[in-house]
Amino acid sequence: MGSSALSLTLLLMSFIHSGLTQDFPRSTLTVTPDNTVFTGERVILTCVIEPDHRDWKYEWCKDSNDVSKRHTVKGNTLTIERAESSDAGRYKCKGEREGSSDSKSSYVSLSVKEHKC
């Protein structure tokens, strides 16, 4: 192999390696106040995408379906004002931004217990 072909091969391998090792955005999903709440409590799920959380469009799902229309979604937060037993399940967020890879969080489980007097 000639030196110019070898140089081109090394250059291409360098580009491929840098593309494969690039850091992809990472999503973290948190639940406030906790993963177990009582009926009637307010629950806030927050999706944070690192290293840069700006300009993302967020999608939310519960048990692989769209979230309830009772829930309020504002950017990277999903709010359940008064938790019901039907709100229990596995939640996930997904961030999309033009020119970047999608970023999906892991699932978090929410348990809703009946509030007893």
Domain 24-113 is classified in which CATH homologous superfamily?
A: Immunoglobulins (2.60.40.10)
Give the other-Cβ count within 10 Å of 93's Cβ: 28
Q: What is the mean pLDDT of residues 27-35?
A: 93
Reported as type and span, the H/E element at residue 9 is: helix 3-20
Give strand pairing partners of 94: 59, 104
Residue that the structure tokens 């360098």 belong to = 14
Per-residue pLDDT at 36 exceeds 60: yes
Instruction: Give the Cα separation of 107 and 74 in Å (integer).
Output: 19
0.85 exceeded by pTM? no
Enumerate the domain spans of the chain: 24-113
Read off the pLDDT of residues 56-111 as tens digits, 9 standing for 90 and up: 899 999 999 999 999 999 989 999 999 999 999 999 999 888 877 788 888 999 99
